[in-house]
């Protein structure tokens, strides 16, 4: 996965909606002491996820090259041109998820994606890993009902925001998944069919 995204020592990586940091720790070890990982979470993660899990991951300065930030998606503002790679692992569908009474969204996706594009260095990439929904299924409905999303919707959103599609990987495919079950259903949990897409920020050549 990380080789596909080009993560390498010395890079700055944003782990978006990092939860308790499973991927964050792997990223921290790949980028090494000269690199940096920004572990992002919505502010609500401070109460919905256990303090013990955060302490186990980050306590005692055990990941010194990781910075945790807690900010809503539409308030995320990183210095322009400061990030090499953004990882969105099983979280893009949540930009379509909203429920009245829950402190989450609605998220303005164009504004959010614009902020990621601005934060990336020229040539930087976003990797999107998510649970496959059936082709053509409404993303608001599939995200709310099943925590899934059609990869065509993801591609549409990123292209509209100015990203270039830059590849896909089948490393997490499971073609036995028929897309009808909630991803947390015991019959499919941890074995969903997952797509992996890579989007790149264009390198704009200076006029000659």
Please enumerate in sequence order all residues whose Cβ is within 8 A of that of 189, keeping only pairs 6 or more positions apart, or say none.
183
pLDDT for 101 equals: 81
Mark out the alpha helices in the chain (DSSP H runs): 2-5, 22-31, 45-48, 51-58, 109-119, 139-146, 151-160
Q: What radius of gyration do the chain's Cα atoms show?
A: 17
| Gap between the Cα atoms of 191 and 62, Å rounded | 31
Q: Cis link prior to 106 (omega < 30° from 0)?
A: yes
CATH number at residue 194: 3.40.50.150
Please enumerate in sequence order all residues whose Cβ is within 8 A of that of 125, keeping only pairs 6 or more positions apart, or say none.
5, 6, 84, 85, 86, 166, 198, 199, 200, 201
Within-domain flag for 207: no
Q: Residue 207: which pLDDT band, with cuts at 50, 70 and 90? A: low
Q: What is the pLDDT of residues 32-81, one digit of tens each?
A: 999 999 999 999 998 899 999 999 999 999 999 999 999 999 999 999 99
Within-domain flag for 27: yes
The whole model's pTM is what?
A: 0.94
Within-domain flag for 208: no
**Phi and psi at residue 87, in whole multiples of 5°?**
-110, 125
pLDDT for 200 equals: 98
Q: What is the pLDDT of residues 152-195, one digit of tens each?
A: 999 999 999 999 999 999 999 999 999 999 999 999 999 999 99
| Gap between the Cα atoms of 156 and 163, Å rounded | 10
Within-domain flag for 76: yes
Within-domain flag for 177: yes
Number of domains observed in the structure of the chain: 1
Within-domain flag for 205: no
How far out from the chain centre does Cα 100 lie?
24
Within-domain flag for 25: yes
> Residue 43's domain spans which residues?
2-200
């Amino acid at each position: 996965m990380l080789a596909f995204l080009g993560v390498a020592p010395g890079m700055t990586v944003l782990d978006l909606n990092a939860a308790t940091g499973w991927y964050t720790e792997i990223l921290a070890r790949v980028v090494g002491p000269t690199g940096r990982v920004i572990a992002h979470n919505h502010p609500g993660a401070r109460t919905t996820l256990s303090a013990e899990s955060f302490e186990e991951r980050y306590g005692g300065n055990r990941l010194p090259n990781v910075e945790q930030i807690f900010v809503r998606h539409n308030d995320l503002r990183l210095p322009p041109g400061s990030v090499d790679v953004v990882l969105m692992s099983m979280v893009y569908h949540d930009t379509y998820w909203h429920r009245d009474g829950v402190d989450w969204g609605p998220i303005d996706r164009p504004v959010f994606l614009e902020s990621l594009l601005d934060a990336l260095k020229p040539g930087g990439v976003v990797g999107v890993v998510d649970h496959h929904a059936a082709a053509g299924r409404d993303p608001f409905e599939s995200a709310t009902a099943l925590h899934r999303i059609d990869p065509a919707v993801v591609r549409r959103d990123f292209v509209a925001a100015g990203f270039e599609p830059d590849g896909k990987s089948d490393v997490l495919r499971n073609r036995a998944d028929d897309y009808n079950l909630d991803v947390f259903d015991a019959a499919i949990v941890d074995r969903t069919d997952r797509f992996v897409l890579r989007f790149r920020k264009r390198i704009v050549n200076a006029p000659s």
